[in-house]
Amino acid sequence: MEFTAQQIAAIIGGKVEGNPEVKVSAFGRIETAIKGEIAFLANPKYEDYLYSTGATIVIINQDLKLEEKIEPTLIRVSDPYSSFAALLSEYEKIKQQNLSGIQQPVFIHATAKIGENVFIGAFSYIGENVVIGDNVKIYPQVYLGNNVIVDANTVLFPGVKIYHNCIIGKSVCIHGGTIIGSDGFGFAPQLDGTFKKIPQIGNVVVEDFVEIGSNCSIDRSTIGSTIIRAGAKLDNLIQIAHNAEIGSNTVIAAQSGISGSTKIGKNVMIGGQAGLVGHLHIADGVKINAQSGVTKSIKTENTAVTGTPAFEYTQALRSQILSKNLPELEKRIKELEKALADLQKEKS
């Protein structure tokens, strides 16, 4: 697929500076791009590459002043990073539009309802009473259990497994290997020291415009629903336990774990390898630093926390400084104790 600078500018709302008819057919990084590729400049650290890049088109900030003459055609926008992301999204949509029809072999139960312009890849399984909306793209080896609903414009990449009764909203993207609706970790301890499994009869609800990375596991609730609210973004390798709720537009980085029945507000940011114990409430706008262990609810909005157990970010930094100074403080205390002992000897 080829696009002219003028066509790209129309997609992202930019202004062309240079030849509007030049064409590109691929994307590249500004430092390594070659002829026929489009790149972008958002970070000032890479500005020098603007004058040496081989890219045919570069998206830049509308206010950037050029230090010297350049070869590429420019498209000026207010936010190059967001504009480049929007262009990539449009490119993906165009590619996916070419996917349609049902490959063979697949299993589709007679009671399943399939919308228009749906793609179902080979070796997929579509169970009883499944409902698949218009323009859904289901890549090979996807499993949809009985009574699953997948709404319009959603993309399920290879190997996604969605267990029975789960609901996936519109324009959701779920990457390969992720499992939605596996049993929550519920076991009742018995008098003899064994554990008896508690049936998990709820489901998982993933609302609209959510993106879930690869190899995540989101457990079904014991009763009711585990919920991922609209616009949430989950990285790879994340565990969401039963009856948890992830607020709208919350982002969670890789290898994080959310324990059962914890409710996370909207616009929360959780760094990689963070862990949250069960039955907590996390207020809107909270920021949880990477590798933090959250053991108590955070009720104040827009708080930043770090450490294990996690506490307020600036206090944590002060504690770290004090911790670094402990050896020197210990040395000074011993010197003072010795000086005090020597004074007492002189007096006696």
pLDDT of residue 286: 98
* Distance between CA atoms of residues 281 and 15, nearest Å: 46
pLDDT of residue 54: 96
pLDDT of residue 131: 98
Task: Give the architecture (CATH level 2) of 3-97.
Answer: 3-Layer(aba) Sandwich (3.40)
Eight-class DSSP state of 120 = E
pLDDT of residue 314: 76
Q: Residue 101's beta-bridge partner residues?
A: 119
Query: What phi and psi values does residue 60 have, to the nearest 5 degrees?
Result: -135, 170
Which residue among the candidates 109, 164, 175, 242 is catalytic per the annotation?
242
The proportion of the chain whose per-residue pLDDT surpasses 70, expressed as a percent, equals: 99
Burial class (CB in 10 A: 0-12, 13-18, 19+), 116: exposed
Active site residue 109: no
**In CATH terms, are 3-97 and 160-309 the same topology?**
no
**Sheet with 173-174, side-by-side order of all strands:** 101-102, 119-120, 137-138, 155-156, 173-174, 211-212, 233-234, 251-252, 269-270, 287-288, 304-306, 311-312
pLDDT of residue 161: 98
**Contacts of residue 192, Cβ cutoff 8 Å, sequence gap at least 6:** none
Residue boundaries of the structural domains of the chain: 3-97, 160-309
**Contacts of residue 171, Cβ cutoff 8 Å, sequence gap at least 6:** 152, 153, 154, 208, 209
Single pTM value for the model? 0.82
Class of domain 160-309: mainly beta
pLDDT of residue 323: 77
186-208: per-residue pLDDT in tens?
A: 999 999 999 999 999 999 999 99
* Distance between CA atoms of residues 275 and 297, nearest Å: 13
Phi/psi region, residue 181 (left: phi>0; alpha: psi -120 to 50; beta: rest), is: left
Question: Mean pLDDT for the chain?
Answer: 94
The more confidently predicted of residues 325 and 145 is: 145
